[in-house]
Structure 1
Amino acid sequence: MNELIPHLTVFLLVLVRVSAFFVTVPFFSYKTIPPQVKITLALVLAWMMYYTIDVEPLVFNDEYILLVMKEALVGLLLGLMGYIIMSAIQIAGSFIDFQMGFAIANIIDPQTGAQSPLIGQFFNMLALLFLLAIDGHHMILNGIYYSYQFLPMDQFPSFASESLPKFIMTTFTAVFAIAFQMAAPVVATLFLVDLALGITAKTVPQLNIFVVGFPIKIGVSFLVMFTMMAVMIQVIQKLITIMIYGIRDLMAILGGG
């Protein structure tokens, strides 16, 4: 019976890291998942991970409070790294919506609770389904499980590492590069459509180009997205891979690697 009841101080530290990770990481942090499910999953996962961690029982003192704060910070940072990388989908959707004219019709994303572009919401759902199809949610759980190999429970993260600023800049560069890759086919095509509409407006002044151009740009945009859907899936797959490796590299850097 004693083996089934973990030491409360160690179990609490594991629970804090897992819970903080679920607050920010993609998929598990979405508001469409009931809070009861998140809490239950965090408790069960922390209870299972407790028996894989070889740590002596800790004493509740001032240092233990710092360890709790450290575990919460580590979990938030790891989840936030995944969220920042996956936000490239929203950025690409914003680029496309701005060119299509959908920027005036942003909607509330039920998953995050924030305003989201229409095309970005579509790409986000597509990425979520693709993430589930390739068992990406299992890889995310593997990330928080193996985080104790890079960041042990009794070790504080190394924020003074010279590699951390370089890693952050490289990650943001990759996010905007992938967002531009996703939006480039549609944005470039709409630029040519705008150019053609401008020439048409000069040659046929009687034509109300604002009324005619809006449905033309929407139709062309959907046609291009339908044609480039296979490429979009490949870019989303690349984005998910970068997210997994980005979380791992962040753990290694914070652990002093």
Structure 2
Amino acid sequence: MAPTLLDMATSGAGTSWLMVVGLLALRLAATLAMTPVLYAMPLPPSIRMLLLLGLSVALASSFPIPAEAFTGWGALLAAALAELALGATLGLGILLAFGAFSVAGQLLDLQLGFGIAQVLDPVTRRPVPILTSAFGYLSVMVFFLLNGHHALLRGIGYSLERFPVGAPWSIANAAEPLLKQATGLFSLGFALAAPVVFCILLVEFALGVVGRNLPQMNMFTMGIPVKILVGLIALSLWFAGIGGVMTRVYASITSTWDGIFVASTQPKGPVR
């Protein structure tokens, strides 16, 4: 019969199990702290900590516990720093994907003139324009609707197989996948807002022609409401076909994590 958590806590492996849970909680905290997954809903900090501990206990119970992994405070501190760095690296892959939505929102806010009106962003704790915040909430909502949180937990579980708790890992292997994702950040962000930007560009051309032929009209006063109206209508229509681009954005998380995991298993030299 498999030992229960109480048996493990009262046996000689109880200390090692508690260390594994604590280190795994550091990895989860560093991963989720850089993403809007936990901050999209106004949960108290104590609830977030209990959620992280619960996930850590569930994951630690599914993987083997090293018998004598940490023989001193120095080894434990090195393992904690390695877990924080690994969690931050994995979280950066998620943050870059959600950053594409921020790029799209800021681009539309600039084109429609919504940059003045700002609301509080729950992730960054700073004021952001309206459409930027709306794109952020939309990205989190669709992420949960597509069961992205299930894929996220599976990815964290798979990371325990590639990078056991407390094991050393090389950050150089993660540099190339993250740089590749960062280079595609602005292209994906522009793809999220490209049809709306194109409609606003056509409106700008039309207003320029009208202002050229009717100089007595105040185009600044008339142009702003027209651009806002056309932009919001185009954005509402674009939401019906934005799913394909959003899928590409979320897929960038999987490709980046796969690149990190595959790079960690490649041989460092020629095989003889």
TM exceeding 0.5: yes
Given the alignment of the two structures, is residue 146 of structure 1 paired with residue 151 of structure 2, yes or no? no
2:207 to 178, 192, 197: 197
Contact 2:93 2:256 in 1 (8 A): yes
Aligned residue in 2 for 1:184: 194
Contact 1:157 1:256 in 2 (8 A): no
Q: How far did 1:40 drift?
A: 0.4
Q: How far did 1:256 drift?
A: 4.3
Aligned residue in 2 for 1:97: 109
Moved more, 2-11 or 96-105: 2-11
Instruction: State the secondary structure of the residue aligned to 1:59.
Output: coil
1:223 to 220, 225, 233: 233
Q: How far did 1:67 drift?
A: 0.7
Moved more, 73-82 or 235-244: 235-244
Contact 1:9 1:60 in 2 (8 A): no
Q: Which amino acid aligns with 1:89?
A: F
Contact 1:32 1:111 in 2 (8 A): no
Moved more, 55-64 or 209-218: 55-64
Aligned residue in 2 for 1:109: 121
Given the alignment of the two structures, is residue 3 of structure 1 paired with residue 3 of structure 2, yes or no? no
Unaligned runs of at least 5 residues, structure 1: none
Distance 1:106 1:79 in 2: 26
Given the alignment of the two structures, is residue 56 of structure 1 paired with residue 67 of structure 2, yes or no? yes
Q: Which amino acid aligns with 2:8?
A: E
Contact 2:101 2:136 in 1 (8 A): yes
Distance 1:168 1:22 in 2: 17
Q: Which amino acid aligns with 2:254?
A: I
Given the alignment of the two structures, is residue 80 of structure 1 paired with residue 85 of structure 2, yes or no? no
Aligned residue in 2 for 1:132: 144
Q: TM-score, normalised by structure 1?
A: 0.90
Q: How far did 1:30 drift?
A: 4.3
Determine what percentage of the aligned residue pairs are the same residue: 26
Q: How far did 1:209 drift?
A: 0.5
Distance 1:46 1:165 in 2: 26
Q: TM-score, normalised by structure 2?
A: 0.85
- Asked which structure has the greater RCO (Cα within 8 Å, sep 6+), the reply is 1
TM-align CA RMSD: 2.0
Distance 1:86 1:185 in 2: 20
Aligned residue in 1 for 2:3: none
Given the alignment of the two structures, is residue 238 of structure 1 paired with residue 243 of structure 2, yes or no? no
Distance 2:147 2:175 in 1: 31
